[in-house]
Amino acid sequence: MKKFILFLLITFSGFLSAQDIEFVKKTVQNINQTKDFKMKTVPYSYFMDKSETTDNGIELKGFYKNGNLRKMEHFVGLSAWNIVTEYFFSENEKLVFVHSKKYQTVDENGYLEKPQLITELRFYYENDKLIKTVGAFINGEKTDYLKESQKLINDLKNYK
């Protein structure tokens, strides 16, 4: 009987979790299908002025619909890899999803012609709370994407 109750609890909690991320998936899908965004790009020179430098640059793009930030793309080029992180926001500009990919650009023989994906992470949020993570961190790397998204939003606002 205890095993049956435990099974029901696990099944029910999995069902609730799946419902929570369904809203996120629909929001991301709608954003990705939108064609007429107003886009703002923050170039590497802005980050250099803030003493944020990398070997291969930093770029931030904000995608706006009806004056609301709906998506950000953040590129960071380091000496051996590139990190591309996408942030998705609800219509009231709450973070709902983060998709981060890390690509290896250099191996023992030099630069790779085609960068190799080495890490892919997905983070699902609801009401500024992380509700689900998909993917594994390498070497214990962890980023507070909620805090990072606020910092990047400020960069978009401050860049003229």
Q: Is the dihedral of CA 98, 10, 18, 119 positive or negative?
A: positive
pLDDT tier at 106 (50, 70, 90 boundaries)?
Answer: confident
CA distance 120 to 141: 12
If phi over 0 gives left and psi between -120 and 50 gives alpha, with beta otherwise, what is residue 145? Answer: alpha
pLDDT 10s digits, 14-55: 433 445 789 899 999 999 999 999 999 999 999 988 888 888
pLDDT 10s digits, 111-147: 788 889 999 999 999 999 999 999 876 666 788 999 9
Q: What is the pLDDT of residue 52?
A: 86
The two beta strands, 58-65 and 38-42, are antiparallel
| Total number of domains constituting the chain | 1
pLDDT 10s digits, 57-91: 999 999 999 999 999 999 999 988 899 999 999 99
- Which residue from 48, 86, 83, 44 is spatially nearest to 69, judged by alpha carbons? 86
Selected residue with higher pLDDT from 110 and 26: 26
The residue type at 27: T
- Which residue from 145, 135, 137, 126 is spatially nearest to 87, judged by alpha carbons? 145
2 has pLDDT over 80:
no
Print the domain residue range for 143. Answer: 2-158
CB 136 within 8 A of CB 148: no
- Which residue from 8, 63, 11 is spatially nearest to 35, judged by alpha carbons? 63
